[in-house]
């Protein structure tokens, strides 16, 4: 589809019962022929009824069907398509999908005022002071990563993220005093803006126009969800309870996150993810990176999935049920992530937290996959594991293709025994970090 020559005009309709289009957008509609297409939802077609055009009106299909629709329309003689969009097409709109599907040279955008802007102006909020979160077509649980204290969130909603659903999430987070403002049918005659406390919506029979934007001001109460790196161990679901199962402990996670230095757009593999301490925390703090957690133990997989849901990291954390290194082969196949609308391909950063006796093979295979500048981090507790990593480090010295850093971390946590304070040590963990570069010999 990238090579199609058919122009696609994406017209933002603004936030009005009757659309107000600029001269350029009006001219596009005026030039359409009977073979051309105007595409949109029924409500959107109604908003431009006063603008005369000759094109065929089509209702917007599901995105998975839309690609084929463009091919069909072009074969039927369409020379151009107008796609109707709400407000700003490239801000949480259809524009992002179009940019992934077509070349920019075939796309022409005509932006308008968005519902987000209007909601902020109704409430006197500066757009730069709020955080926009789209729940439209996304799991409600994805809100959780944003539910910290003292935040102002503007939420784009769907049928599964209506005011009562938002209130329930606030209460689960311990933020029941949060203010939920529902901006309904903005720009229409029936527009109304109403504010509620989260706790008051649980038992309320509230009817809202499905066309709404929600402004959520979270309270000053302490939230279940962290606002700084280092999630407490007890916040995770583990296979032994109370954060004592197969999970990388908080202090160790802090060191791992620091050394891995995840950047926007990274693809990171967490091999031997256990209950998900490292992978969940990486995904939580880096929403624009893709994290793949690989684990084979059934109980730990269940905990990993529970933690993914608990912290709302469904969008950028994928769980792979399998044993490495065999599972890594499947990760690189074309159809492994079918249905997720993405292809991760090779990683540029890898953390090996557990190898199940396959550490030598894992390190070798991963190193071959990593691009120049990519990094591998390995944690080791037993002397056998340390010896294997040291052998790998010697191989890197011989090949002169890596920068190496290593540290040994020993943690002792304060406890009480018979009313007395003491520090109970944990087993020391050695961390090795290798950054790949091109050999000079």
Average pLDDT for 45-49:
95
Between CA 60 and CA 10 the distance in angstroms is: 13
Domain boundary, last residue among 217, 250, 270: 217
pTM flag (> 0.85):
yes
User: Quick one: pLDDT band at residue 342, thresholds 50, 70, 90?
Assistant: very low
Whether residue 172 lies inside any domain: the answer is yes
Between CA 118 and CA 178 the distance in angstroms is: 22
- Do 397 and 349 have their domain in common? yes
Mark out the alpha helices in 344-382 (DSSP H runs): 359-369
Whether residue 226 lies inside any domain: the answer is no
pLDDT (0 to 100) of residue 339: 43
Nearest-5° angle of CA 264, CA 266, CA 269? 140
Residues of the domain holding 346: 233-436
pLDDT (0 to 100) of residue 344: 56
Nearest-5° angle of CA 304, CA 305, CA 306? 90
Does position 107 have pLDDT exceeding 50, yes or no? yes
Q: Name the nearest CA neighbour of 260 among 434, 436, 439, 438.
A: 434
Between CA 210 and CA 28 the distance in angstroms is: 30
Whether residue 223 lies inside any domain: the answer is no
Q: Check whether the bond before 410 is cis (ω within 30° of 0).
A: no
Task: Please classify residue 79 by burial: count the beta carbons closer than 10 Å to its beta carbon, then call 0-12 exposed, 13-18 middle and 19+ buried.
Answer: middle
Report CA-CA distances (Å) from 326 to 292, 335, 346, 347, 362.
Answer: 15, 16, 15, 16, 9
Does position 194 have pLDDT exceeding 50, yes or no? yes
Number of structural domains (the chain) is 3
- Residue 242 maps to which CATH number? 3.40.50.150
- Do 201 and 338 have their domain in common? no
pLDDT (tens digit, 9 = 90+) per residue, 352-381? 998 877 899 899 999 999 999 999 999 999
Whether residue 177 lies inside any domain: the answer is yes
Domain boundary, last residue among 87, 113, 139: 113
pLDDT (tens digit, 9 = 90+) per residue, 232-283? 999 999 988 767 788 999 999 999 999 999 999 999 999 999 999 999 999 9
185 CB-side CA count, 13 A: 11
Label residue 81 left, alpha or beta by phi (over 0 means left) and psi (-120 to 50 means alpha): beta
């Amino acid at each position: 589809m990238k090579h199609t020559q058919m122009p696609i005009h994406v017209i933002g309709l603004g936030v009005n019962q009757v659309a107000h289009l600029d001269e350029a957008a009006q001219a596009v509609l005026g030039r359409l022929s009977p073979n051309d297409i105007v595409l949109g939802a029924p409500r959107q077609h109604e908003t431009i009824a006063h603008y005369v055009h000759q094109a065929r009106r089509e209702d917007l299909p599901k995105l998975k069907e839309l690609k084929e629709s463009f091919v069909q329309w072009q074969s039927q003689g369409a020379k151009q398509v107008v796609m109707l969009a709400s407000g700003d097409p490239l801000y949480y709109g259809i524009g992002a999908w179009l940019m992934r599907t077509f070349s920019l040279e075939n796309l022409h955008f005509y932006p308008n005022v968005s519902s987000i802007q209007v909601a902020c102006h109704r409430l006197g909020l500066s757009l730069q002071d709020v955080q926009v979160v789209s729940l439209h077509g996304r799991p409600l649980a994805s809100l959780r990563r944003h539910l910290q204290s003292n935040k102002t969130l503007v939420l784009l909603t769907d049928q599964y993220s209506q005011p009562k659903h938002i209130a329930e999430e606030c209460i689960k987070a311990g933020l029941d005093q949060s203010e939920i403002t529902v901006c309904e049918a903005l720009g229409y005659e029936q527009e109304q803006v109403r504010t509620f406390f989260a706790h008051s919506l649980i038992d309320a029979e509230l009817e809202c126009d499905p066309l709404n934007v929600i402004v959520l001001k979270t309270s000053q109460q302490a939230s279940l969800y962290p606002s700084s790196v280092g999630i407490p161990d007890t916040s995770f679901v583990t296979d032994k309870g109370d954060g004592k199962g197969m999970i990388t402990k908080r202090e160790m996670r802090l060191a791992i996150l620091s050394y891995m230095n995840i950047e926007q757009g990274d693809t990171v593999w967490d091999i031997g993810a256990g209950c998900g301490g490292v992978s969940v925390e990486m995904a939580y703090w880096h929403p624009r990176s893709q994290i793949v957690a690989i684990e084979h133990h059934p109980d730990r997989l269940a905990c990993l999935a529970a933690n993914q849901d608990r912290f709302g990291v469904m969008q950028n954390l994928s769980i792979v049920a399998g044993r490495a290194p065999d599972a890594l082969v499947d990760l690189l196949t074309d159809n492994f992530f079918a249905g997720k609308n993405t292809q991760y391909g090779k990683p540029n950063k890898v953390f090996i937290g557990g190898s199940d006796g396959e550490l030598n093979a894992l390190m070798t295979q991963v190193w071959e996959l990593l691009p120049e500048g990519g990094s591998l981090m390995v944690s080791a507790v037993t002397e056998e594991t340390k010896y294997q990593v040291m052998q790998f480090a010697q191989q890197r010295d011989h090949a002169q293709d890596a920068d190496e850093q290593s540290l040994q971390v020993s943690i002792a946590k304060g406890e009480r025994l018979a009313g007395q304070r003491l520090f109970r040590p944990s087993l020391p963990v050695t961390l090795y970090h290798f950054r790949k570069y091109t050999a000079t010999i």
